[in-house]
Copies of this chain bind each other. A is one copy, B any other.
Amino acid sequence: MSKASDRAYDAIRGMILSGELSSGDPLREEALAQACGVSRTPIREALRQLEVDLLVRRTESQRSYVADWSLDDVADAFELRAMLEGHAARRAAERITDDIVDELKHYNKAIFAAISKPRPDVPTFLDRNREFHALVLDTAGSPRLKNLLTALIEQPVVWRTAHNYDPTAFQNSHSEHADLISAFERRDGPWAESIMAGHIRRAFHAYCDAHKGMGALKKGAA
């Protein structure tokens, strides 16, 4: 996407993720255009993309609203991620080269450094973690799988949960990555698959723990 569309996309996405907009809020093109300082054309493009991301839902009459993510939806998303990323890990194990393994080790070292500080560096953790998973996905060598997963991976759920990780969860994440790398070194697809699936499922349970009693994702603002 190009400049204005990107600005619009990031802006709207930010408003949704930050809770400035709540579930079910209507998204009117004209209003968003003013808010983002662009015309309706790039807004329309951004909304289409956000719809693919499932952050925005459209009614049959083409009106757009902020999507609502119930706990079931979140579970659903994590389940699919577990399956698809597990599959990706298996394929990656069958195709990986030593160079890629080294690169993964490098990312995981950076993750370790970020979470070993007295006060964990969450943004760095998130970035390296993202890169780690992206590299696995690339190594899987399936453009379609990549397409499906990217729509699933960068979603509010993932985004919000990490801030609530406790130190143990960080450690678990890091050591699961290490296990995954071991599976890759042995080119053991099934092992890689099961580690990855478990890795995602653990993230889901971390999410559940973090959101216990706080009404899931309802009402982000206020």
Contacts and interface: CB of A to CB of B under 8 A. Distances in A.
A158 to B, nearest CB: 14
Interface in A28-60: 41, 44-45, 48, 52, 54
Nearest to A61: B2
A77 B2 contact: no
Interface of A: 2, 41, 44-45, 48, 52, 54, 62, 73, 76-77, 79-80, 83-84, 87, 142-145, 147-148, 151-152
Contact of A52 (B52, B73, B87): B52
Given A2-B62, A143-B54, A148 B48 contact: no
Contacts of A142: 76, 79-80
B148 A80 contact: yes
State the copy count for this chain.
2
Contacts of A73: 143-144
A148 B77 CA distance: 11
List of 5 A-B pairs having minimum Cβ-Cβ separation, nearest first: A76-B142, A148-B148, A76-B144, A80-B144, A77-B144
Contact of A145 (B2, B62, B76, B145): B76
A119 to B, nearest CB: 35
A45 B42 CA distance: 11
Contacts of A52: 52, 147
